[in-house]
Structure 1
């Protein structure tokens, strides 16, 4: 048995896969989503907007709920399983990227754009927006890691 240490390399590995899968999930959601999926995504987004920014754990949970609703709308169980497992790996890095100055509002706006692309069934746009959203999260996660290890 081996204890895994946290590292920037691990962050890069996790996000390399997560960025690709999140983009694929958003694209698939745009192609396969049902009206019920849209309701579920909208409810999660509305709950995120209403979440207090004084509670980083609640912020992270609300954000994850939006992502999980998009994953579910992809109607691809393998993507959902893999993203859930990747998210579990990130729990080893407890600081949320959403607490970074300006990131909460930015993430909400980015979600709105992704949701709009899914509603419009614009798979390419949903893919690109989700990719960019998760790329920003990776860069913040690396910055937080560096700040906490100095």
Structure 2
């Protein structure tokens, strides 16, 4: 059986995921010919996929074609500000729209995460993302979920997860439990408050990490 060739959407989604994971780091070139050869397709679907990535501001023109865009600290803070609002809305809607299957999924993810013993930073980020995505899915609002997914790509590209901060992993799990309880109880306002506070705390830690990184660059020797 012949495997169907990737279309523009699947190429876009794969490249976006690789940018999000850091497999394609800032400055990595994405040239049409090379990408087309990699996926075994013509340049037409590649051109469309790259155009979508450029629209998402994940790639920018470089000296020799498009390249992965570097993280902008100011934009990261702005993304958090918007995500706080959208995460709260997703949680509020999820409390009303969630099904029993959604609750089982969320409970299973939380139990899995609690069973992890001092997981590495990358695993913390991945499991945290899965829990949040399950909340979005429980809202059963594709537009809201898509917006949050697009925003999250910009955050996961930042160096170091906020979950790497001392004590933050256990703190985040407790916040997830509070959020899940509100969703299970059908309390939309409590769910929205829990989600917003969870993201505000993450924003505070991210700001601290950004300041530390800036101080390191400022204090480093030059010449």
Shared topology, TM-score over 0.5?
yes
How far 1:5 sits from its partner (Å)? 4.3
Alignment match, 1:20: 85
Distance 1:142 1:4 in 2: 20
Alignment match, 2:142: 77
- Alpha carbons 1:26, 1:123 under 8 Å: kept: yes
How far 1:123 sits from its partner (Å)? 0.1
Alignment match, 1:11: 76
Supply the RMSD in Å over aligned alpha carbons.
Answer: 1.4
Where in structure 2 are the equivalents of 1:1-150 lying within 5 Å? 1=61, 4-150=69-215
Distance 1:36 1:50 in 2: 21
How far 1:44 sits from its partner (Å)? 1.0
Number of matched residues? Answer: 150
How far 1:79 sits from its partner (Å)? 1.1
How far 1:122 sits from its partner (Å)? 0.2
SS at match of 1:144: helix
**Would you tell me which structure has more strand in proportion to its own residues?**
2
Distance 2:119 2:179 in 1: 25
How far 1:91 sits from its partner (Å)? 2.5
How far 1:4 sits from its partner (Å)? 4.5
> Which aligned runs of 4 or more in structure 1 are off by greater than 6 angstroms?
none
Q: Kindly indicate whether structure 1 or structure 2 has the higher relative contact order, using CA contacts under 8 Å at least 6 residues apart.
A: 1
- Alpha carbons 1:27, 1:126 under 8 Å: kept: yes
Q: Which runs of 5+ in 1 are unaligned?
A: none
From the CA coordinates, give the structure whose radius of gyration is larger.
2
Q: For residues 35-79 of structure 1, what are the alpha-carbon distances to aligned partners after superposition, in whole Å with 9 as ceiling and x for unaligned?
A: 000001111111211223241101111111111111100000011
Distance 2:104 2:94 in 1: 13
Distance 1:63 1:133 in 2: 12
